[in-house]
Structure 1
Amino acid sequence: MKKNKPKYKKIIDAAVEVIAENGYHASQVSKIAKRAGVADGTIYLYFKNKEDILVSVFQEKMGQFIERIEEVIVEHHSADEKLYRLIDMHFRQLSENPSLAIVTQLELRQSKKELRMKINDVLKGYLAVVDRILEEGMNEGTFHAHLNVKLVRQVIFGTLDEVVTNWVMKEQRYDLVGQAKEVHFIIANGLKIHQS
């Protein structure tokens, strides 16, 4: 399969850097090829066009992202701990790769509907992880039993997304991962059943 080939990974990583530096519209395929150390034509063996590269970047990185989050949360027992780990990993993975953070927070926000739909499709796997944590918390009696899972999931994802976007816009001048505890506190306290 193409995705297991080293050149595919090289092109994906080069695309992240080039798009982060130049913006999606100013990132020519030739610049990505040069950064990856491959001929321009080689890119077309793996991708249909620049749009396909952008969607593939997101698929590849989001796939890795979901795998890492699932590996980490499986080690924790309560839904609340899993929620904290998800928030921490979300921030940690993007703070470890600021170029990827720029691409996900700024360059993936494309106005073209077809492109937005492809990106939303990739996000479904991540949102399913959030749903599982919420449902687990409701079943174990930690979170309110009457939560609207779809709405709460949007609130959680929207919050994490905005915190990362703000960090990117402020040129990563502060510790993103350091905000995980406070963000978890705010979200979890809205979800938990408070014993009187």
Structure 2
Amino acid sequence: MKNTKPKFNQIIDAAVEVIAMNGYHSSQVSKIAKKAGVADGTIYLYFKNKEDILVSLFQEKMGQFIERIEQEIAEKNNAEEKLLELIQLHFRQLGANLPLAIVTQLELRQSNPDLRKKINDVLKRYLTVIDSIIEEGIEEKLFQENLNKKLVRQMIFGTIDETVTNWVMKDHKYSLVGQAEEVHELLVNGISKR
């Protein structure tokens, strides 16, 4: 598998920096290679083209992030706690890595339909985690049993996602993680049985 090769992560990390700084369309493979400290040709040992770098970057970063979320929420006692943990982890991950936040919130959105489909395929696992929290909340009688689960999932993901996008667009002048509890409160109040 390509991501076990030693320079793979080096190239991915360089791509995050270069794309965040220059935008996807102005980020030549040669700039990514230079930032990674590898020859241009080395990039093509790992990736087919620049689009493949962007998709791989998202698969790699999102894959690691989803694994972490799955592990962390497994230790929580109920759906409300799991949802709070998910929001906090999401905000922490992107709040601590502005270049990654710029790439995920802005650059990935400008891509062609084929690329967006590949990105949506990666997101499915994350949305499945949200679905499991909703299901658990209903089973625990914390959330309303007649919820439109797909709509609730969109509401949760969309709120988290837009909060990060707004933070990026406002030049990250405030704490993203500092908004986690308030976002959680607003979401839970909308779906809880209270």
> Which category describes the TM-score, using the shorter chain as reference length?
over 0.9
Aligned residue for 2:25, secondary structure, equals: coil
Aligned counterparts, 1:44-63, within 5 A: 44-63=44-63
Distance 1:140 1:158 in 2: 24
Q: Which residue of 2 aligns with 1:161?
A: 161
Displacement after TM superposition at 1:72 (Å): 1.0
Give me the whole-angstrom Cα distance separating, in 2, the residues matched to 1:73 and 1:21: 33
Q: How many angstroms apart in 2 are the aligned matches of 1:189 and 1:4?
A: 44
Distance in 1, Cα, partners of 2:73 & 2:4? 26
Report the residue type matching 1:34 in the other structure: K
What is the number of residues matched between the two proteins?
194
Percentage of identical aligned residues:
71
Opposite residue 175 of structure 2, the aligned amino acid is D
SS in 2 for 1:108: helix
Residue matched to 2:122: 122
> 1:47-105 CA deviation, whole Å, 9 max, x = no partner?
11001100111000000110111111011010000000001101000011110000000
CA separation in 1, counterparts of 2:17 and 2:6? 17
Q: What does 1:120-159 align with in structure 2 at a 5 Å threshold?
A: 120-159=120-159
- For 1:191 and 1:32, the matched residues in 2 are separated by 44
Q: Which residue of 1 aligns with 2:93?
A: 93
Structure 1 segments, 4+ long, off by >6 Å, are none
Which runs of 5 or more structure 1 residues have no equivalent in the other structure? none
Residue ranges of structure 2 left out of the alignment (5+ in a row): none
C-alpha RMSD of the superposition: 0.7
TM-score by length of 1: 0.97
* Aligned: 1:78 with 2:78: yes
1:110 shift after superposition:
2.2
Deviation string, structure 1 residues 118-164 (Cα, Å, up to 9, x no partner): 11111001000000000000011110111111111111111111100
Q: Aligned equivalents of 1:72 and 1:5: distance in 2?
A: 28
Aligned AA (1:100):
L
1:103 aligns to what? 103
